[in-house]
Amino acid sequence: MNHDALVAVARAVFEAAGGSPIDPDYVLPADIPLELSGEAVRARLCVFTDNRGAEMAMRPDLTLPVAQREAARLEGGALPKTYTYAARAFRLPAAADDPFEFTQVGLERFGYGADPGADAELFALVHRAVEACGVQPKAIVTGDLAIFPAFIDALCLPVVTTDLLKRAFRQEGGVRAVLDEAARPLDADVLKALDAAEPEAALGDILAARDMPLVGARSLAEIVEGLRARRAAIEAGGLPDGARAALLALRDVDCPLTQAPETLNALAKARGLTGADAALDAFAARVGKIMALVPGARRTAEFRAGFGRRFTYYDGFVFEVLAEGLSPSQPVAAGGRYDGLISGLSSGRVAATGIGGVVRPDRMIRVRRAGA
């Protein structure tokens, strides 16, 4: 089978699951991926400047423009739908043998349900599309971006620490940088200003006395808020050793997917983190359903607690399918849940659950050639 034949085969698998064909805009304002995901995505984004100087980007995947169109449709009062596509996407190559543009064949489901069954169903569908293209998965890496936040919440830390840890988990540096940053003391007179009748005015006085201008877009009120949050963290005494140990242990979980529920439960139990039970129950239910639908995953699927944390808009189940002959950074298929994406794209005006997956025929061609 050549590239186009693989596209047709994969497309037929996704279309059999229902959904409307879609080929949305190729060009997006660069603000959409950059404000949504931050500067980290810029490294792979094909960006150019239009004649008015505005930064535009070629679509880096189909999920983003499909979700953007869906958000606009929902704002008009329509009901969420399922879409299928076989369409071009554009990324700056990460490896020498990566192309600039490639076809993704996939499916995006909005408002479909956010339960373990929906996750497993999508996983099985993508798995079937890969097999239909004549490629046997060598390994399937999975993660769950809801587990780490659930553990952090269960630790009952001050809000400022909780927020910082959750965000740090999604960054390249990970939580280590935050964990290593102890609660550092604040200037005595700045602390005193916080207790003044009008803290903003008191802070303004300190600025005037020290001859410091207030530059930038943050207001005195925002600085006061930031100081209050830091004081709360200092009073809480930084990150307790037990919490630190729990998060570092979670970070290092890397095991076959079949063993992951037991491993995570044991970890939570050992640390007394009953608050994570709901997330762990959902996780265990998903693993059970995946194994029932795709028995082969018993052998190939693994779980890594830190996996997918850099996939910016995903917020639940995530997975990548690897095949013989390609590097771990070149999956032949991938997918995941992004329940917050529609809300993020519409500035909270509408919301809908979302889950999607894609296969890469261009990479599967390489796997098939290498195997032949």
Partner 1 sequence: MSRLTIAIPSKGRLKEQTEDWLVSLGHPLRQIGGERGYTAEIEGLDAEVRLLSAREIAQGLIEGSLHFGVTGEDLLNDLAPDGADDFRVVKRLGFGGADVVVAVPQAWFDVDSMADLEAAGAAFRKAHGRRLRVATKYLRLTRRFFAQKSVGEYRLVESAGATEAAPSTGTADVIVDITTTGATLKANGLKVLRDGVILESEAAFTQSARAEFGPVAKAAADALVGAFARSDHNF
For the bound state, the minimum distance from the C-beta of residue 231 to partner 1, rounded and expressed in Å, comes to: 9
Q: How far, in Å, CA of 56 to CA of 138, rounded? A: 37
The two beta strands, 301-304 and 254-256, are antiparallel
Contact 32, 347 (CB under 8 A): no
For the bound state, the minimum distance from the C-beta of residue 45 to partner 1, rounded and expressed in Å, comes to: 11
Residue 138 or residue 166: which is nearer to partner 1 going by CB?
Answer: 166
Residue 4 or residue 189: which is nearer to partner 1 going by CB?
Answer: 189
Which of these, 368, 359, 365, 369, lies nearest to 107 by C-alpha position?
Answer: 359
User: Residue 201 — φ and ψ, nearest 5°?
Assistant: -65, -40
Residue 7 or residue 168: which is nearer to partner 1 going by CB?
Answer: 168
SS3 content of the chain, % helix, strand, coil (to 5): 50, 15, 35
Q: How far, in Å, CA of 284 to CA of 296, rounded? A: 18
For the bound state, the minimum distance from the C-beta of residue 341 to partner 1, rounded and expressed in Å, comes to: 16
Residue 173 or residue 328: which is nearer to partner 1 going by CB?
Answer: 173
Residue 169 or residue 303: which is nearer to partner 1 going by CB?
Answer: 169
For the bound state, the minimum distance from the C-beta of residue 221 to partner 1, rounded and expressed in Å, comes to: 9
Which runs of E-coded beta strand occur in 69-178? 82-90, 101-110, 139-144
Measured CA distances, 194 to 160, 232, 247, 276, 335 (Å): 17, 12, 32, 35, 47
Query: Interface residues with partner 1 (CB under 8 A)?
Result: 34-35, 38-40, 42-43, 160, 163-164, 167-168, 170-175, 177-178, 181, 184, 186-187, 190, 203, 206-207, 210, 212-218, 220, 222-223, 225-227, 229-230, 347
For the bound state, the minimum distance from the C-beta of residue 327 to partner 1, rounded and expressed in Å, comes to: 16
